[in-house]
Amino acid sequence: MKVKSTKYNRGVNKNKNKNRKTKKVVAKANKVNPVLKKEVRKDGITEYTVKKIMTDKQIKNKIGRYFPEKHYTVILREDADVYSQDENGERELLISFRKKILTDALCKVGIQCLKKAAMKKHDNRGAAAGTLKMSLLPGYANDFSKHKRLNHYRISGYWSKKDGMFVNNSLGNSSMSNIIGYFDKPDRNIKVNAPPCRETAFTSQQVDKWKRVIPLIQEIDKQFKKLIPDRHKAQLKRARQTPKFQIKDTSFSTVTINYNWRTALHTDAGDLPQGFGNLVVLQEGEYSGGYTGFPQYGVCVDVRHGDFLGMDVHKFHCNTEIKSSSKDYTRLSLVCYLREKMIRCKNLQD
C-alpha cells in the first residue's frame, strides 16, 4: 500500500548566478486527504474509508477529461477494500482489490483469445474516449465543420463529405475497445425487425475462442461472489431471468475488452445499478501507469496481471496515462457486468 505525500514549496528559488533574475515559486496548496479512516482488519486486508474531495458539480464538469497520477493521494498496490462515506456518515463499498487472483494458465488463454478482438476500433465509447480529436475520428467524419455536436466528446451526426447529406449517426473518438458475450441493443446492421437483445459478433462468429475464455469469466465471477456477496446475489438473480443471454454459470451478460486504452472520466451506462463492475488485467511486456482511478475520492488502483478489482462503475472513474517500458506491451483489461435492459428479452423466443 502506498500513500503519497505532497511537498509544499515555499519562498523563492535562489540562483547561484547572481546576474540572472530569480523567479518566484508559487506555493502549491496541499492536496485534500480523502482518508477518514485506515485500518488492517483481522483477515489482513487493509480497509479505507474515504470522503469526496470534489463536489458532484465539480466532477461532472470533468466528464470526458483526464486526471494525472499526481491528482491521487492514495495508490493501491496491495489487497484493500475502500468504502466511501457521505455527509450523513453512510458508507458504501467503492473498491474491492485483490492481488494475483487469476492463474497464469487462465491469463494466457485470455490473451490468446481476446487480444486481437480488443484491438478492433469502435467509435461508440462516449465520454470514456475523451475530447473529440480529428486524428481519432473515423475518416468519413473527421471534419469538425461538418459536425452536429452534442458535447465535447460526442457528435449526434455529420454532413457527408460525399453528397453533403446529413447522416444521423452518433459517434466519438475511436478506441481499441470491444464487447463480447451478449448485448441489450439491436444489431444496427439489421434494418428491419432486429431483436432487442443479441449475441455479440465475437461470441457468434468466434465460437471456439468464446468457449475457451468462459472458464476465465467464471473465475472472475467466483471472486465477485466471494468478495461482494450481496451485490453478486442480486445480479445473479437478475441474470438468471434471461438465461439465453447469461454467460454460463455467472452473473454476467457482457464483457468489455480494452487494449492499451486510457479511458477518460465516465460512468458505465447501461449496467445493472444494483450490480458491480468486475475488472481484471492481462499483461504482456512492461509498462507503467494505467491506474484505475476514482478522482472524486482521490483513490486509484494499480491493477496488474492476474489481479481482481471489484468496483462501483456507477461512480466516476478513468485511467492515468499508460507509459511503455518495453518495445511491445499489452494491457488487456476485461470488465464483466450485467446489462440492465437485458430483462426486456425475458420472453424472447428463438
pLDDT in tens, 273-303: 999 999 999 999 999 999 999 999 999 999 9
The predicted structure's pLDDT at residue 190: 65
Structural domains of the chain, ranges and CATH numbers in brackets: 30-130+176-350 (3.60.130.30), 132-172 (no CATH)
The predicted structure's pLDDT at residue 335: 98
Grade residue 191 by pLDDT with cuts at 50, 70 and 90.
low
Closest to 334 (Cα-Cα) out of 292, 274, 273, 286: 292
* End-to-end alpha carbon distance in the chain: 50
Quote the pTM value. 0.88
Distance CA 282, CA 231 (A): 25
The predicted structure's pLDDT at residue 207: 97
Distance CA 35, CA 133 (A): 36
The string of DSSP letters for 246-295 reads S-TTSS-SEEEEEES----SB--TTB-TTS-EEEEEEEES-EEE--EEET
The predicted structure's pLDDT at residue 189: 66
The predicted structure's pLDDT at residue 213: 98
Residues 187-211 have a mean pLDDT of 86
Asked if 176 and 258 touch (Cβ cutoff 8 Å), the reply is yes
Please indicate whether residue 171 or residue 13 has the higher confidence score (pLDDT).
171
Distance CA 130, CA 154 (A): 9
Tens of pLDDT, residue by residue over 61-120, are: 999 999 999 999 999 999 999 999 999 999 999 999 999 999 999 999 999 999 999 999
pLDDT at 12 exceeding the cut of 50: no
Distance CA 50, CA 334 (A): 26
Cell numbers linked to 283: 499483461
CA-CA-CA-CA torsion sign (67, 73, 78, 80):
negative
pLDDT at 259 exceeding the cut of 50: yes
Contacts (Cβ under 8 Å, ≥6 apart) of 148: 155, 156, 157, 158, 166
Distance CA 348, CA 333 (A): 31
Residues 144-160 have a mean pLDDT of 94
Phi, psi of 208 (to 5 degrees): -65, -45
The predicted structure's pLDDT at residue 29: 54
Asked if 290 and 262 touch (Cβ cutoff 8 Å), the reply is yes
Grade residue 211 by pLDDT with cuts at 50, 70 and 90.
very high
Quickly tell me which residue has 523567479 as its cell: 23
Q: Is 231 helix (H, G, I), strand (E, B) or coil?
A: helix
Cell numbers linked to 342: 437485458
pLDDT at 18 exceeding the cut of 50: no
The predicted structure's pLDDT at residue 16: 43
Distance CA 269, CA 257 (A): 16
Burial class (CB in 10 A: 0-12, 13-18, 19+), 40: exposed
Mean pLDDT of the chain: 91
Cell numbers linked to 19: 546576474
- CA 44-50-55 angle, to 5 degrees, is 160
Asked if 121 and 176 touch (Cβ cutoff 8 Å), the reply is yes
Tens of pLDDT, residue by residue over 24-64, are: 444 445 678 999 999 999 999 999 999 999 999 999 999 99
